[in-house]
Amino acid sequence: MIIFLLIVTAFMGQQEPPHGNLKAILEDGPPSTWFTFISGHDVSNGEDFEIVLNVISIVLAVIGVSVMIGGLFWFWRKQKPVYSIATAMFFVICGYLALMFSIG
């Protein structure tokens, strides 16, 4: 497993990072429908976007952080581990959605 990770890391280190040139990225294919649905922007025409805080993204971030604090509380009290795992997954989902909704 470790050798496989090293091989993948070596391969990925040889490629140019896919940032900075939106038009070149879009030549490989259109943006995912999930991104277009959540963000509400069609970036296939090459328009730039930025991260803008809005009410939805702030609320999702606050919910995610509060859920993670609750998960840490359950972890420290040695309650059922399924609660900690569920709160960690919910934290990741809330963080992702907060980021997607903040794209403007």
Alpha helices in 14-80 (DSSP H): 22-28, 33-39, 55-76
If you search the block for the tokens 């998960």, which residue do you land on?
A: 71
Q: What is the mean pLDDT of residues 17-40?
A: 69
DSSP state at residue 44: G
Domains of the chain: total: 1
pLDDT tens-place string over residues 13-27:
666 666 666 666 666
- The pLDDT score that the predictor gives to residue 100 is 85
- The pLDDT score that the predictor gives to residue 92 is 93
More confident residue, 40 or 89: 89
3 state SS of 101: helix
- The pLDDT score that the predictor gives to residue 78 is 78
Domain that holds residue 73: 2-101
If you search the block for the tokens 């069609």, which residue do you land on?
A: 42
pLDDT tens-place string over residues 47-102:
667 788 889 999 999 999 999 998 888 888 877 788 888 898 999 999 999 988 88
